[in-house]
Amino acid sequence: MWGKNVRAVVSIQVWQTLRWNLGATWDKPFMPLFRIADGFDRRCNAMCSGCGLKQDGMELHEVWDYDEVKHIQRLADLITLCNKCHLVMHLGRAMKVGHGEIALAHLASVNGWAMSKAQRHAAEAMETWRRRSQFSYTLDFRFLNQWISPGQVHLDWLEHPKRWIGDQISAMEWARGIIESDAVILDTETTGLLKHPHAEVIELAIVTLRGRVVYEGRFKPRRKIPKRTTAIHGITDDHVKNKPSFAESFPEILKALNGRIVVAFNAAFDRGIVERTCSKFRLPPPDCRWECAMLAFRAYMESGRYLRLPGGTHKALEDCRATVKLIKQIAKGMSIQRPALRVVAAK
């Protein structure tokens, strides 16, 4: 049951849209992937279902029912919780990360209990967890069908769970898991950084871990390419003046990404710029699970700072291939030379 949750089987875009629609955050996604059915309580007051605290930035907590005879774990509800109440709902994790006393104190305070009663409740909860964890449970996510289609729930992603990438060993485990999956590697070149409101994708490539090119193309942007970004990736307005728009090429891109694990060297940037470009053309973002090779690389090199892609050239296809090589090197525990840091204005 550990790690088997909604976030593990839906894309980050679906999860962010759920959070927004159910009132866990007031930050609207670039483009919500679905609308709540008429009459549904959006709970936009962002109130904690545990203690009643009102604030933005709540946790969206999953409530599960357990059939301990048939061993079925059934999603029953999604509720908003403040950070402290969320710690209470995950007492085992709270204790593991050193927040057990905070969680127990909050549990006692909200319920008007003595600390001894809160401690007994925690012990009973851990015993229930140990009893249930002796068995494998079938997951039932049908509760989500009121918002998303069954096709947006990807149970196969549970075979390659996300790992916390905090050290060399976990980075190697992550890389090996990616290689064993059907993940694809994506890279983009753009007209600017995410902080620039008109930035969009002008070149995109997708390859498999075996190096097969799934997609490669350039797009004519809605505005002229700034000279400062041309100086980085070499793409000029003349290079793209006869190219199709991103929207015209989108069906092929979507086919290559939907339902897949998608690895980018700097996933936060590539996911953000793809979503931004989709929003500009009023297109739904890809329904995929994003993974970041740079986070694994930083952990592997024991570096807390930004690292450049070894062999990166600011050409989308070549950078995809460089990312494939990097993942394989990490998986094998090979020595990798730390690339020199060079500050750039855009990808």
DSSP labels, 188-252: EEESS-TTSTT--EEEEEEEETT--EEEEEE---SSPPPHHHHHHH---HHHHTTSPPHHHHHHH
- The two structure tokens encoding residue 217: 């193309």
pLDDT digits 0-9 by tens, 307-346: 999 999 999 999 999 999 999 999 999 999 887 765 444 4
Instruction: Specify if 118 maps to a domain.
Output: yes
Q: How confident is residue 45, by pLDDT bands cut at 50, 70 and 90? A: low
* DSSP-derived 3-state class of residue 133: coil
31 and 129 co-located in one domain:
yes
208/92: higher pLDDT: 208
In the DSSP assignment, the letter for residue 112 is T
Instruction: Specify if 340 maps to a domain.
Output: no
189 and 136 co-located in one domain:
no
Last residue of a domain, one of 147, 182, 198: 147
Q: Which helix (H) or strand (E) holds 75?
A: strand 72-81
Residues 285, 275: contact at Cβ < 8 Å?
A: yes
- Share above pLDDT 70 across residues of the chain, in percent, rounded to a whole number: 92
pLDDT digits 0-9 by tens, 27-42: 777 777 766 554 444 5
Instruction: Specify if 112 maps to a domain.
Output: yes
Last residue of a domain, one of 115, 147, 179: 147
313 and 199 co-located in one domain:
yes
Quote the CA–CA distance of 143 and 127 in Å, as a whole number: 27
Number of domains the chain contains: 2
pLDDT digits 0-9 by tens, 156-209: 998 887 666 788 999 999 999 999 999 999 999 999 999 999 999 999 999 999
Instruction: Specify if 43 maps to a domain.
Output: yes
pTM: 0.85
- The two structure tokens encoding residue 226: 């700034």
- What pLDDT score was predicted for residue 245? 97
Count other Cβ atoms within 10 Å, centred on residue 145: 11
Residues 32, 18: contact at Cβ < 8 Å?
A: no
129 and 247 co-located in one domain:
no
173 and 322 co-located in one domain:
yes
164 and 130 co-located in one domain:
no
Instruction: Specify if 341 maps to a domain.
Output: no
Instruction: Specify if 32 maps to a domain.
Output: yes
Last residue of a domain, one of 126, 147, 168: 147
Quote the CA–CA distance of 126 and 342 in Å, as a whole number: 49
142 and 182 co-located in one domain:
no
Domain region containing 98: 6-147
- Mean pLDDT over 250-266 rounds to 97
24 and 164 co-located in one domain:
no
- What pLDDT score was predicted for residue 267? 96
DSSP calls for 28-68:
--SS-S--PPTT----TT-B-TTT--B-SS-EEEEEEEEET
90 and 120 co-located in one domain:
yes
* C-alpha distance from residue 96 to each of 3, 91, 101, 105, 169 (Å): 15, 9, 11, 16, 20
Residues 300, 333: contact at Cβ < 8 Å?
A: no
Q: For 193-206, b where at least 16 C-beta lie within 10 A, e where not — what string?
A: ebeeeebbbbbbbb
134 and 164 co-located in one domain:
no
pLDDT digits 0-9 by tens, 47-75: 899 999 988 889 999 999 999 999 999 99
Region for residue 77 given its phi and psi (left: phi exceeds 0; alpha: psi -120 to 50; beta: otherwise)? beta
- What pLDDT score was predicted for residue 341? 60
Instruction: Specify if 318 maps to a domain.
Output: yes
Is the torsion defined by CA of 103, 109, 110, 112 positive or negative?
positive
* C-alpha distance from residue 161 to each of 8, 132, 157, 219 (Å): 7, 20, 6, 34
* C-alpha distance from residue 73 to each of 2, 110, 215, 246 (Å): 12, 28, 39, 41
Instruction: Write down the mean pLDDT value for the chain.
Output: 90
Check which CATH number belongs to the domain holding 246 and give it: 3.30.420.10
- What pLDDT score was predicted for residue 2? 58
Instruction: Specify if 343 maps to a domain.
Output: no
pLDDT digits 0-9 by tens, 68-88: 999 999 999 999 999 999 999
- Mean pLDDT over 255-280 rounds to 96
Q: What are phi and psi of 74, to 5 degrees?
A: -115, 125
Is the torsion defined by CA of 227, 229, 233, 235 positive or negative?
negative
281 and 193 co-located in one domain:
yes
186 and 312 co-located in one domain:
yes
pLDDT digits 0-9 by tens, 300-310: 998 877 899 99
